[in-house]
């Protein structure tokens, strides 16, 4: 069994991962509504990935003999000012998630829970990739702006995910 702090922390992180999926679906809706179907596709894939993360944690809790308590998910924002705004928010969100994962990892060290450390290491590594991907898109959008052929080329590239 997980110690109480880790149990509550991972349970809360399941909620955060599901909320991330909900946020990315909202972003997908905005992008689709603005005729950026490739970017919307990328965001849908991102939402699916966040649900996979939540389910990994969900299963891990039961593997360790703990119960999962699902928490309420707040409504995500529905309006954004531009595709760049969307992806800047993705990057900021992923940085926040990185901090949450690091806090869980620190708890696993504090409580000398080596199994939790091994489990959480995957998420630590995953967050490096998540931030790198989001930052790369932000940098491209800043370079080309929100209008024109270059935006459509980026949208097509994101649709290939």
Give per-residue pLDDT as tens, 44-94: 999 999 999 999 999 999 999 999 999 999 999 999 999 999 999 999 999
Give per-residue pLDDT as tens, 97-138: 999 999 999 999 999 999 999 999 999 999 999 999 999 999
| Angle separating helix axes 114-144 and 37-63, nearest 10 degrees | 170
Examine the pLDDT at 161 and tell me if it is beyond 90: no
For the stretch 68-79, what's the b/e string if a residue is b when 16 or more beta carbons lie within 10 angstroms of its beta carbon?
beeeeeeebeee
Classified by CATH at the fold level, domain 4-159 comes out as Ferritin (1.20.1260)
Q: What is the predicted pLDDT for the residue at 145? A: 80
Domains in the chain: boundaries: 4-159
Q: What is the predicted pLDDT for the residue at 155? A: 95
Token pair of 132, please? 């790198």
Examine the pLDDT at 146 and tell me if it is beyond 80: no
Scan for tokens 């930052």, then name that residue.
Answer: 135
Examine the pLDDT at 147 and tell me if it is beyond 90: no
Give the helix ranges, DSSP H, for the chain.
Answer: 4-33, 37-63, 83-110, 114-144, 149-159
- Model confidence at 148, pLDDT cuts 50, 70, 90, reads confident
Q: What is the predicted pLDDT for the residue at 74? A: 95
Q: What is the predicted pLDDT for the residue at 49? A: 98
């Amino acid at each position: 069994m997980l110690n109480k702090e880790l149990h509550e922390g991972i349970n809360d992180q399941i909620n955060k991962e599901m909320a991330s999926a909900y946020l990315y679906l909202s972003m997908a809706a905005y992008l689709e509504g603005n005729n950026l179907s490739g970017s919307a596709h990328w965001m849908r894939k991102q939402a699916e990935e966040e649900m996979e993360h939540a389910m990994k944690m969900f299963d891990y809790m039961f593997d360790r003999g703990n119960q999962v308590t699902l928490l309420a998910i707040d409504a995500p924002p529905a309006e954004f000012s531009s595709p760049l705004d969307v992806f800047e928010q993705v990057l900021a969100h992923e940085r926040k998630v990185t901090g949450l994962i690091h806090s869980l990892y620190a708890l696993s060290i504090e409580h000398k829970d080596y199994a939790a450390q091994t489990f959480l290491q995957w998420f630590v590594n995953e967050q490096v990739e998540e931030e790198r991907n989001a930052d790369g898109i932000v940098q491209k959008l800043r370079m080309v702006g929100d209008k024109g052929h270059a935006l459509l080329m980026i949208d097509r590239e994101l649709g290939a995910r």
